[in-house]
Structure 1
Amino acid sequence: MGGFHMLDIIVVAAIALALFGPKALQSMARSAGKGVGQAKDMKDKLMSDLPVEDITKITNNIPQIPLNPRQAVGMLLAADESKAKEAKTAPKKAEEEKSQETKANES
């Protein structure tokens, strides 16, 4: 259940050594290492070319999709709380706007 243990890795390595021999196993490991290095280099080049700020702005504007019922309920409750806060602050904003308009008209 938990993944590979050291004994599992040793057994697999011993079987691979018996099947392929030390020289073939060494060249396969070298090729695999080079492939991983090339993949990391390509990833680094791609990440340096991407406009990260633009991507962040776009992803912030995309609405989040809930992955389970608990997230859906949490998002609904958060939306209700923000609407309630807006409803409480709306009269204050309207009063401030009216006072600014009257000041502007008096001037």
Structure 2
Amino acid sequence: MQPSQPSQPTEKEILEKILAPLLEDFVYWFNRASCLLESERMPFLTEEEQEGLLARLRQAKKEVETAIMLFRATGGQVGVDTKALLPWHKLVAECWDVARRWRELKQGSF
């Protein structure tokens, strides 16, 4: 008698465990970055760059929120194409870089 193999997770279970938290993380980081850009002037960005980044954050947040609504409305049956995820990842990384530069600037001013 062979030992039973653990059952493989279904595609839906994988989506629920990986995609749902990932989408929520995008919303979290987009909100944090938006708050920073709305409340502080980044001297290392032009006003146009800062406004452009803020506009891209707002658009990406709407896209992610739409993906979350579709995911929930279908009971976790719908995924997100990696072509959509990649720009969101890049935007989060860009925001982390802006926040890092902002922290370095603030630390240097004390």
Fold shared, TM-score > 0.5 on shorter chain:
no
Q: With structure 2 as the length reference, what TM-score do the two structures score?
A: 0.33
Structure of greater Rg: 1
Higher share of residues assigned helix: 1
